[in-house]
Amino acid sequence: MGKDYQDKGEMPHMNFHVLTLFPEMVRQGLSESIIGRALSKGIISLETVNIRDYTTDRHKKVDDYPYGGGAGMLMQAQPVYDAWNAVAEGIGSRGRAGTEARVIYVTPQGRTFHQELAKELAKEEDLIFLCGHYEGIDERVLEEIVTDYVSVGDYVLTGGELPAMVMIDAISRMVPGVLSNELSGETESFGNYLLEYPQYSRPELWHDKSVPQVLLSGNHQKVDEWRLEQSLERTRSLRPDLYEKWVQENQEYFIKKAKREERKRRLERKRQWKTDKGTEALAEGNTEPKAES
Ligand code: ADE
């Protein structure tokens, strides 16, 4: 069996299992950067299972023509089922109910993957991804083993490996310990419906463009306010659908903002009133502005 446990002694918080015809593609795609580091640290584990290893066909065939005719070939039920069964037994041998683990069939026909689903799936201990190829998979095996049909978007790819990798990446970021900055998985784009604010690093001036002054002020409250305003503005213009959701859940922000602005206007009126009184007093030859009643 094409297995690849990256178990470094520590108990992983999430075990991914991928049923695929291209295990190397999945392993390599997830071996670098943050996910690669989480795998080496044992925070998550990855098992890739080559479906072809489970075919009972003596020519190692895993596909056949669809009944009723039509273009292309279908992945057959038997090797997919036996590959899943081997994974379920493996999970079972670790004292968990292997057949209960969620099985995600990545398909353009599924519901669209999003951040909330990534968060929900990150709470599981084992996730099995089933990657299809050719024109799809025999419906009977899907009926028996699949719990979730999930798509990465309204376009068709040549196979399920890239979508599975996309989902594994997004889910892993939500697993505690995978990101070095624990907060960032939650606070970034979509975590609370808002897109991220613009960020700047050195130098202060680049191509005649300077870093916004507020970020250099050292005033953390002002920086936070500016960032939230930027996020709101960006979300409102780029993703009005997300902006609406945020507005609905954060009415209190707008109430506080309106109060802040009213207070500012009142102070400004008062300041203006004093200036006017001072000017009047000066004109009358009196240097002391009259007290406000
Ligand atoms: N397989 C092929 N296209 C896909 C998509 N858009 N999402 C998930 N799996 C797929």
CATH code for the domain of 161? 3.40.1280.10
Nearest to 16, CA basis, from 153, 147, 145, 167: 167
Is 20 part of a structural domain of the chain?
Answer: yes
Boundaries of domain holding 93: 14-173
How many domains is the chain partitioned into structurally?
A: 2
Is 3 part of a structural domain of the chain?
Answer: no
pLDDT of residue 183: 53
Is 291 part of a structural domain of the chain?
Answer: no
Let me know: does 130 contact 137? Beta carbons within 8 Å.
yes
DSSP E strands in 117-214: the ranges are: 126-131, 148-151, 205-206, 209-210
Is 4 part of a structural domain of the chain?
Answer: no
Question: Cβ of 269: how many Cβ atoms within 10 Å?
Answer: 10
- C-alpha span between 235 and 190 (Å, rounded): 10
* Below-50 pLDDT ranges, the chain: 1-8, 292-293
Is 274 part of a structural domain of the chain?
Answer: yes
Is the same domain home to 23 and 166? yes
In single-letter form, the type of residue at position 55 comes to T
Is the same domain home to 135 and 236? no
Question: Cβ of 14: how many Cβ atoms within 10 Å?
Answer: 23
pLDDT of residue 162: 98
pLDDT of residue 280: 87
Is the same domain home to 34 and 164? yes
Nearest-5° Cα angle at 53, 50 to 59: 125
- C-alpha span between 172 and 14 (Å, rounded): 8
List pocket residues of ligand 1, CB cut-off 6 Å. Answer: 106-108, 151-153, 155-157, 160, 163
Question: What is the residue whose two structure tokens read 């925070």?
Answer: 43
Question: Cβ of 161: how many Cβ atoms within 10 Å?
Answer: 24
| Best of 152, 155, 161, 167 for a ligand 1 pocket test (most atoms within 8 Å of beta carbon) | 152
| Best of 105, 106, 137, 158 for a ligand 1 pocket test (most atoms within 8 Å of beta carbon) | 106
Is 88 part of a structural domain of the chain?
Answer: yes
Looking at 125, 146, 173, which one is the last position of a domain?
A: 173
